[in-house]
Amino acid sequence: SQTIHQWPATLVQPVGSPLSLECTVEGTSNPNLYWYRQAAGRGLQLLFYSVGIGQISSEVPQNLSASRPQDRQFILSSKKLLLSDSGFYLCAWSPGQGPEQYFGPGTRLTVT
Amino acid sequence: TQLLEQSPQFLSIQEGENLTVYCNSSSVFSSLQWYRQEPGEGPVLLVTVVTGGEVKKLKRLTFQFGDARKDSSLHITAAQPGDTGLYLCAGEDIVGNEKLTFGTGTRLTIIP
């Protein structure tokens, strides 16, 4: 069966520091991968998605970037965090044969 | 930009009561999904509806896709405390590119 991992689970970082969040998927190959951000108790905003290694599409202009160095690895980064980057970051995968997406446990980021 | 508005935003009812949550848009979607999210966790897929007018049942949960594929509803019969959570609808772009637009969310609390 497929599983998706995210780490760290929680992170507190000062303004201006760098960021690296990692997501890995097991049990599947060539998945579509997604990064979302969620404001407290609200819907999800799509940040990036990828249909293959090195193929990244950005949905919103922002302080963040994404990379996919391996088939089942998706990384969310920032060179300098802003207060507004605080939130709950979710990684998701889909098999690419339908709309269903499967989410990781999320990372709670607090920028101080 | 496609928007999915959910109503109500918050709902608190007694155990055993029935409830309906709505998901509305002015855009057409090729499919629509419902997710439930527990605090601090990622959303979990409940159902996908793809045909206008389609009705799907999952135990005490009934999902309906509008005839015009612009709206959906989730009806829960005899609500239980385990139904508590954030309910999110998500629509797949009509192009079928497997990107999802998420609704604004409904926070449901079932009081024992």
The DSSP-derived string for A49-66 is EEEETTEEEESS-SS-EE
State the nearest Cα–Cα gap between A29 and chain B, in angstroms.
17
* The pLDDT of residue A61 is above 80: no
Mean pLDDT of chain B: 93
* Chain position carrying tokens 């949905």: A59
Region of A79 (left: φ > 0; alpha: ψ -120 to 50; beta: rest) is alpha
Separation between Cα atoms, residue B4 and residue B89, nearest integer Å: 8
Residue B39 covered by a domain:
yes
Separation between Cα atoms, residue B64 and residue B22, nearest integer Å: 10
Residue of B nearest to A87 (CA): B40
The whole-number pLDDT of residue B1 equals 58
Q: Which among A41, A43, A105 has the least Cβ separation from residue B41?
A: A105
Tokens of B108: 């449901």
Answer whether A49 touches B (CB < 8 Å).
Answer: yes
Mean pLDDT of chain A: 93
Separation between Cα atoms, residue A99 and residue B77, nearest integer Å: 27
* The pLDDT of residue A98 is above 90: no
**Can you tell me the mean pLDDT for A86-94?**
96
For the segment A38-54, what is each residue's pLDDT rounded down to a tens digit? 988 788 999 999 999 98
**Can you tell me the mean pLDDT for B69-83?**
97
* The pLDDT of residue B8 is above 80: yes
Question: Which distant-in-sequence residues (6+ apart) come within 8 Å of B107 by Cβ?
Answer: A41, B9, B10, B11, B85, B86
> Dihedral sign, CA of B27, B85, A38, A58?
negative
The whole-number pLDDT of residue B95 equals 64
Domain holding B25, by residue range, is: 15-111
Residue B8 covered by a domain:
no
The whole-number pLDDT of residue A16 equals 97
Answer whether A58 touches B (CB < 8 Å).
Answer: no
Please indicate whether residue B70 or residue A96 has the higher confidence score (pLDDT).
B70
In chain A, the percentage of residues whose pLDDT exceeds 70 is 99
Residue B2 covered by a domain:
no
Question: Which among B35, B66, B61 has a CA at the least distance from the CA of B48?
Answer: B35
Instruction: Give the count of domains, chain B.
Output: 1
* The pLDDT of residue A65 is above 70: yes
Residue B10 covered by a domain:
no
**Residue B22 maps to which CATH number?**
2.60.40.10
* The pLDDT of residue B94 is above 80: no
Residue B94 covered by a domain:
yes
For the segment B16-68, what is each residue's pLDDT rounded down to a tens digit? 999 999 999 999 999 999 999 999 999 999 999 999 999 999 999 999 999 99
The whole-number pLDDT of residue B75 equals 98
Residue B4 covered by a domain:
no
> Hey, what CATH class is A3-111 in?
mainly beta
Q: Sort out which chain B residues have CB atoms less than 8 A from A100's CB and list them.
A: 33, 45, 48
